[in-house]
Amino acid sequence: MKNHIKIITIVTSLLLFCGIAPLSAATDLSCSGGEAFWIGSAVPVDPSLTVTYDAGNIDDALVSIGTDFDSSKDTLAFSDMLGITGNWNPTTGVLRLNGTTTPANYQAALRSVTFNTTAAFGTSRNIDFALGTAVPANPCGFVSDHFYEAIDAGGNITWTAAKAAAETLTLFGLQGYLITITCESENDYVKTKIQSDAWIGASDIGNLTRWRWVTGPEGLMVDIDTETGLRFWDGVETGAVYNGRYNNWNIGLQPDNIAGERYGEIYILDGTWNNLPDSAGIQSYIVEYGDMPGDDPAVKITDTKVMRLAAPGIIIIEKQTDLTARPRALSSKLTTAPTSLCPMVIRTTPVKSHPALTR
């Protein structure tokens, strides 16, 4: 065994010396192919989902409904199993699973999650699975998936302390940072997942009234003004957008830069932004993961399943190559997913040759 360890150490050292990073532990969460169908009662979202993780046990996972979530109608459900407990939040549309156990147990748990709704037929939901405690999304067309996690500090926390705390967090090899919000869809998504006002990674601390993203990938950029951090706003509440970049200040009121208010927060009420002093009474901050230097590109900890809402009892005709042929009577028993050519067509089992179709 000692010789084996010595050989592995030598190989790893040689790879690093040659500029080749050694392979990381396999980390993969993948949904099965095709779409899922809800036809009037609770249905498993993806009973064939797979989880691979070679670095030990998993502590957390979650399932969330995307921006199409309807809090008055949609539900995800899970029955505690295999040392894993579930907690559904009907406000944010996030089902959190917690408990330290094997990847195989998490695979079984995630496969058992069910979806139900009272929404109208003919719509759909994007249901996201993820390992860890952060909600996945890619609202701005990022290079890779991003993840968002609202942290309750359990008491007031300064912006400076929140920034430092965010940077100590990692998610399966991804580096955490205080959130940067660079497009409207990202802002809209985040405001549906937070439970209170929270710190964000905006500040004008380097140059008064020049507001920048000073955290995350944007905080590492040298902008066109040769200063570090992505600049998006100049001036106070009567100021102006810089270089056409996104902002969501509480228009006409913020940023007012009164009494050292040089740090950004997002309001839970409407998702607009405010500026506050470092010592303001804020208890939450939002951590984002994704696109940082050093992030492991091989990590895949999220995937999405589309859930179609189809009316129960409706007979849908199987795809036919001869469109002039007389259709057969069909039963409503679902046997396969829809085809790519006819995405709303469901293959069914023939009952008889010619009777009239019923609905």
The answer for residues whose C-beta is within 8 angstroms of residue 35's C-beta and 6 or more apart is 124, 305, 306, 307, 308, 337, 338, 343
**Token pair of 239, please?**
């100021």
Phi, psi at 48, each rounded to 5°: -120, 10
Rg (CA), the chain: 25
DSSP bridge pairs for 154: none
| Per-residue confidence (pLDDT) for residue 258, from 0 to 100 | 85
- pLDDT at residue 344 is higher than 60: no
How high is the pLDDT of residue 50? Answer: 98
Express the helix, strand and coil content of the chain in percent, nearest 5 each: 15, 30, 55
Residues 6+ apart with CB under 8 A from 247: 211, 232, 233, 241, 273
If you average pLDDT over every residue of the chain, what do you get?
Answer: 83
> Contact, 208 vs 257, CB < 8 A?
yes
pLDDT in tens, 305-342: 999 998 665 544 434 444 444 444 433 334 344 433 33
Domains and CATH numbers, the chain: 25-139+297-312 (2.60.40), 145-295 (3.10.100.10), 316-359 (no CATH)
CA separation for the pair 113, 100 (Å, rounded):
18
Q: Helices marked H in the chain — which ranges?
A: 2-17, 103-111, 159-166, 184-191, 216-219
Q: Are strands 198-203 and 263-266 parallel, antiparallel or unpaired?
A: antiparallel
pLDDT in tens, 47-60: 999 999 999 999 99
pTM of whole model > 0.95? no
Look up tokens 């809402």; give the residue.
309
Peptide bond into 297 cis (omega under 30): no
Count the Cβ atoms, other than its own, within 10 Å of residue 87. Answer: 11
Q: What is the pLDDT of residue 313?
A: 55
Helix, strand, or coil (residue 163): helix
**More confident call, 2 vs 296:** 296
pLDDT value of position 356: 34
Tens-place pLDDT, residues 111-170? 999 999 999 899 999 999 999 999 999 889 888 899 999 999 999 999 999 999 999 999
Phi, psi of 14 (to 5 degrees): -65, -40
pLDDT band at residue 222 under the 50/70/90 scheme = very high
pLDDT band at 281 (very low <50, low <70, confident <90, very high): confident
- Among 180, 236, 230, 181, smallest CA distance to 208 is for 236
Q: Please give the DSSP secondary-structure letter assigned to residue 326.
A: P
Q: Are strands 329-330 and 174-178 parallel, antiparallel or unpaired?
A: unpaired
User: What pLDDT shows up at residue 252?
Assistant: 81
Using CA atoms, how far residue 312 sits from 39, 74, 257, in Å, is: 5, 17, 57
Cα(67)–Cα(271) distance, rounded to whole angstroms?
Answer: 14
CB atoms within 10 A of CB 53: 21
Cα distances (angstroms) measured from residue 247 to each of 37, 211, 220, 306, 314: 38, 10, 19, 31, 47
Res 77: pLDDT:
98
Sign of the alpha-carbon torsion through 173, 107, 102, 21: negative
By percentage, how much of the chain surpasses pLDDT 90?
A: 66
What are the pLDDT digits (tens) for 74-124?
A: 999 999 999 999 999 999 999 999 999 999 999 999 999 999 999 989 999
How large is the average pLDDT for residues 234-259? Answer: 91
Alpha-carbon distance of 80 to 49, in angstroms, equals 18
The CA-atom distances, in angstroms, between 155 and each of 166, 281, 284 are: 16, 8, 8
Q: How confident is the model at residue 345 (pLDDT cuts 50, 70, 90)?
A: very low
- 91: closest CA among 259, 222, 268, 237? 268
Say which residue, 260 or 13, is predicted with more confidence.
260
- pLDDT in the model for residue 25: 59
